[in-house]
Structure 1
Amino acid sequence: MALFFDAEWFDARLAERGISRTVLAAAAGMAEADLILAFKDQRELSAAEVQAFADVLGVPAAEVANRAGVSTPVPGGDRISELERRVAALEAEVARLKRGDR
């Protein structure tokens, strides 16, 4: 596991795909300022951001977490949170159907 955010590795993966940091930030739902802080190792990524980075870069989330620094969470490590998100999405869909929204 990397001790610090491996900005060179991330930039190389972005370059391979022809993607800018701006696109990466948008895909992860981050402000560009937050992404800059992450690349400077001054902000940790959330599990959701790790997964978004992995999706954009086409690499496993564990690799992103490994390259993002010591305390970066690997998505899927918190099964309860994932289940809570899924239940919330299902509840929202049921509520929408009850209202008759399409």
Structure 2
Amino acid sequence: MSLFFDADWFDAKLAERGLDRAALAIAAGLERTDLHAVFINERAPTAEELETFARVLQSDLVEVTLKSGVAAREAPPTNAEPEDRIESIEARLDAIDNWLAEFEQSKKKSA
């Protein structure tokens, strides 16, 4: 399962609000080069950055997370072997657990 940052979706949401990537970078406390790395899949956004993106874009955090490539709703192919499906599900659950742990840590730091 490949996950990719949907830069077109983010750009369209920014344009709807009369904003650009520079505004998003400023809101998230990022250098433009760091935001660019997120947009081209060189690094994953942090939970805190995703929360900021959602607020700036006035979008649901889950949708922003999905569009950022951090999580995916796709299920493994139905023709996959049961062992492969279990491994895929476990990997997705691990990714969600890691994201939630990071999100909880960022909330503790900001409190």
Give me the TM-score of the superposition, normalised by structure 2.
0.66
For 1:73 and 1:51, how far apart are their aligned partners in 2?
15
Q: Map of 1:61-76 to 2, 5 A cutoff?
A: 61-70=61-70
1:85 is aligned to 2:109? yes
User: How high is the sequence identity, in percent, across the aligned residues?
Assistant: 42
For 2:35 and 2:104, how far apart are their aligned partners in 1?
27
**Structure 1 segments (4+ residues) deviating >6 Å:** none
TM superposition shift of 1:47? 0.2
- For residue 56 of structure 1, give the secondary structure of its aligned residue in structure 2: helix
Work out which of the two has the higher radius of gyration on C-alpha atoms and give 1 or 2. Answer: 1
For 1:21 and 1:73, how far apart are their aligned partners in 2?
26
Gaps of 5+ in 2: 72-94
Gaps of 5+ in 1: 90-102
1:42 is aligned to 2:42? yes
TM superposition shift of 1:25? 0.3
